[in-house]
Amino acid sequence: MRPLTGEVSVWMDASPAHVWDLVSDVTRIGEFSPETFEAKWTRGSTRPEVGAYFAGHVKRNGVGPIYWSPCRVTVCEPERVFEFAVGTDSITANNWGYRLTPRDGGTEVTEYFRLASSLPLRAYWALLGRFRGRTNVNGMRTTLERMKAVLESGVES
């Protein structure tokens, strides 16, 4: 069976600190993602830290359905890794994250996803994984290229 993961890397002419400020500010994801058009901190959270909660407003595959996805920050290592779980307090469906690696005077940014290995998700991935995986990879590339354009323009709004 194909893996329940995927990743895309893009080099950006920006310091890890500048990239970190962008990838860890969930309220800006709507500027970059083709599926998540807005996000907000929830449950009293106001900044990126392990255990912080936020919700992403998603338009699945860019066309629908539209729904809010609850998320919780699981890894928060400034200028290195920002990762979050998507799902409820008791069930994680997916993990998404960004790894930042200093390289050649800039930053190699890797966006990745990892589906939980539950039986329903393994069955879903066996049936539709090729298509969803391609959608995820294309979406990650779009997200990273849009971030790169903002960071390299010198205008970070």
Over range 89-97, report the average pLDDT: 89
User: Is the pLDDT reported for residue 3 higher than 80?
Assistant: no
Give yes or no for residue 75 having a pLDDT over 70.
yes
Q: Which of 108-112, 130-134, 142-146 has the weakest average pLDDT?
A: 130-134
Query: 68 or 136: whose pLDDT is higher?
Result: 68
**Higher per-residue confidence, 54 vs 122:** 54
Integer Cα distance of 54 and 39 in angstroms: 7
Kindly calculate the radius of gyration of the chain based on its CA atoms and give it in whole angstroms: 15
| Per-residue pLDDT tens over the stretch 18-71 | 999 999 999 999 999 999 999 999 999 999 999 999 999 999 877 778 999 999
Question: Rounded to an integer, what distance in angstroms lies between the CA atom of residue 19 and that of residue 12?
Answer: 8
> CA-CA distance, 49 to 76, in Å (whole number)?
6
Average pLDDT, the chain: 89
| Residue 63 CB neighbours (<10 A) | 8
Q: Which CATH number fits domain 5-153: 3.30.360.10, 3.40.50.970, 1.10.10.10, 3.30.530.20?
A: 3.30.530.20
Dist. CA 122–CA 99, nearest whole Å: 25
Output the pLDDT for position 77: 98
Reply yes or no on whether the pLDDT at 1 is more than 50: no
Cα separation values, 115 from 35, 45, 105, 125, Å: 17, 25, 33, 9
Report the predicted TM-score, pTM, of the whole model to 2 decimal places.
Answer: 0.89
Which pLDDT value is given to residue 47?
97
